[in-house]
Amino acid sequence: MEHVVIIGNGIAGITAARHIRKHSNRRLTVISDESKHFFSRPALMYIYMGHMKYEQTKPYEDWFWKENAIDLVCDRVRKIDTKGKKAILRSGSSIPFDKLIIATGSKPNKFGWPGQDLNGVQGFYSLQDLEAVKKSTAGIRQAVIVGGGLIGVELAEMLVTRGISVIFMVRETHFWGVVLPEEEGDLVARHIKNHHVDLQFETELKEIVGDSDGKVSAVITGKGEKVPCSFVGLTVGVSPNIDFIKNTAIETDRGVLINSCFETSIEDIYAIGDCAQFREPSTGRRPVEQVWYTGKMHGETVARTICGKETPYMPGIWFNSAKFFDIEYQTYGTVMSQQKEGEKSFYWENPKGDKCVRIVFDSTTQAVLGFNFFGIRARHTTCEYWIANREKLPNVLCSMAASNFDPEFFKCFEKDIISQYNSENPGRMITLKTKKGLFSNRLT
């Protein structure tokens, strides 16, 4: 019986295992030293805040794996023998495979700062990171977070709930500047500051200082300022977790290099999820996609290929979602931090400055290309339909009510959005349509 070995039990690896089992009776082994059972990584912050227990983050009961004949090995792969087709483990044993899936995810970035390996200095990605944060922040009063992104916001929210004073250092001029346009970055920054986080822009980390016990005691910024603290969260992004692969015959760059079917340079070895890098990414997509839902899609797709139905990856229209404290964020299609040539955007923000909508469109045809929503929930299928069918901006605005799926008693803002559009475009007034009139009587 063909033996499929999967390294990594995150969303990509476990989805692959589940779908291989769904389509075949192949022998399956999943190897991970992070945790014995698969859990929801985005829920780690809620464990720290006391909203959930670890057991509640596991989508499947512990009996699920034996019931579905998926063997779990709690160990770390030290080396891959590509010729002998064996995964060599840290414990000294090895596991032979007929096909191998590398799904080892990401690791937090470190950039060689002095003191970056002191106790109390860490990233936040794994279950072990969560346990280390719990230990390092017990009873402390001051923390520093370095790097402005989603993980940094999660860590800030976690620490604030423990009454810890947080200084958030961001080297850009506005929040998440590599992803968000300036207006959205400013909206998020205001919200973070409103939650009593000291958010400092254009501030870089130069050095981390330790005490006589080897524990962090302060950071020194690029401006020479010394900031006392008892914990430093390094949230300057993540990179593919592939160090153990780099001295093998498997070709790597930033990640493990793969084709559209997730095949590496070595026959019968595949890579999926955060650690994989497409040699030729789909139009508008990045070579490395470090997002939960893409990992799930990778797992589903590679399972079909391994089970005999070769299936190229078709990612479709980009989307993502996140939460900045109380503000929910959704993005669909292409919205860059800097507007590209041939594009324009319509931007609306409510007077309180805690909700906004951005619609990017083709400057010639007015076909919508992408959306940002902050504080307003938009229906995924509707936005995807508009982008795929190159719906024109006026038609989209007229039908905005159809995309809103906020709860019944939430305030709606479609009339305010259209009112602003009309004031900016007096030569072509538009009127809001009801949900019943969705996609009917379109403007031309």
Looking at the domain assignment, is residue 148 inside a domain?
yes
**pLDDT of 18 higher than 70:** yes
Q: For residue 33, give the CATH number of its domain.
A: 3.50.50.60
Q: For residue 327, give the CATH number of its domain.
A: 3.30.390.30
Domain endpoint, select from 255, 276, 306? 306
Looking at the domain assignment, is residue 311 inside a domain?
no
Give me the pLDDT at residue 435, please: 55
Answer positive or negative: Cα dihedral of 323, 328, 333, 337: negative
Distances (CA, A) of 221 to 209, 227, 390: 11, 8, 47
- At 364 the three-state DSSP class reads coil
Flag whether the pTM goes above 0.75. Answer: yes
Distance CA 415, CA 435 (A): 13
- Helix boundaries (H) for 210-354: 292-306
**pLDDT of 444 higher than 50:** no
User: Do 103 and 134 belong together in one domain?
Assistant: no
- Tell me how far apart the terminal alpha carbons of the chain are, to the nearest angstrom: 59
User: Do 231 and 245 belong together in one domain?
Assistant: no
pLDDT digits 0-9 by tens, 46-68: 999 999 999 999 999 999 999 99
**pLDDT of 438 higher than 50:** no
Answer positive or negative: Cα dihedral of 374, 379, 380, 384: negative
User: Do 22 and 78 belong together in one domain?
Assistant: yes
Average pLDDT, the chain: 95
User: Do 10 and 92 belong together in one domain?
Assistant: yes
pLDDT digits 0-9 by tens, 396-433: 999 999 899 887 788 899 999 999 999 999 988 899 88
Q: Are 274 and 108 in contact (CB under 8 A)?
A: no
Number of domains in the chain: 3
Q: What is the mean pLDDT of residues 381-387?
A: 97
Query: Phi first, then psi: what are they for 111, rounded to 5°?
Result: -120, 30
Distance CA 185, CA 178 (A): 10
pLDDT digits 0-9 by tens, 281-311: 998 899 999 999 999 999 999 999 999 999 9
Looking at the domain assignment, is residue 298 inside a domain?
yes
Looking at the domain assignment, is residue 336 inside a domain?
yes
User: Do 131 and 73 belong together in one domain?
Assistant: no
Given the structure tokens 């993502």, which residue do they identify? Answer: 320
**pLDDT of 441 higher than 70:** no
User: Do 335 and 412 belong together in one domain?
Assistant: yes
User: Do 10 and 103 belong together in one domain?
Assistant: yes
**Six-digit token pair at 95?**
């596991």
Domain endpoint, select from 189, 216, 236? 236
User: Do 149 and 257 belong together in one domain?
Assistant: no
Looking at the domain assignment, is residue 291 inside a domain?
yes
Q: Are 107 and 239 in contact (CB under 8 A)?
A: yes
User: Do 330 and 428 belong together in one domain?
Assistant: yes
Distance CA 61, CA 66 (A): 10
- At 151 the three-state DSSP class reads helix
Distances (CA, A) of 76 to 3, 6, 145, 274, 297: 19, 12, 29, 18, 25
Looking at the domain assignment, is residue 115 inside a domain?
no
User: Which amino acid is present at 41?
Assistant: R
For residue 44, the Cα-to-chain-centroid distance in whole angstroms is 14
- At 203 the three-state DSSP class reads coil
Domain endpoint, select from 306, 341, 362? 306
Instruction: Tell me which residue of 333, 336, 293 sits closest to 317, measured CA to CA.
Output: 333
Secondary structure element (H or E) that encloses residue 416, with its range: helix 414-424
Q: Confidence band (pLDDT; 50, 70, 90) for 434?
A: low
Per the model's pLDDT, the better-predicted residue between 443 and 353 turns out to be: 353
Which structural domain, as residue segments, surrounds residue 194?
121-236
Given the structure tokens 């109390």, which residue do they identify? Answer: 120
Looking at the domain assignment, is residue 443 inside a domain?
no
Residue ranges of E strands in 17-133: 27-31, 70-73, 77-81, 86-89, 94-96, 99-102, 106-108, 121-122
Q: What is the mean pLDDT of residues 153-179?
A: 96
pLDDT digits 0-9 by tens, 20-35: 999 999 999 999 999 9
User: Do 46 and 127 belong together in one domain?
Assistant: no
pLDDT digits 0-9 by tens, 173-188: 999 999 999 999 999 9
DSSP strand pairing (327-333 vs 319-324): antiparallel
Looking at the domain assignment, is residue 444 inside a domain?
no
User: Three-state secondary structure along 257-276?
Assistant: EECCCCECCCCCEEECHHHE
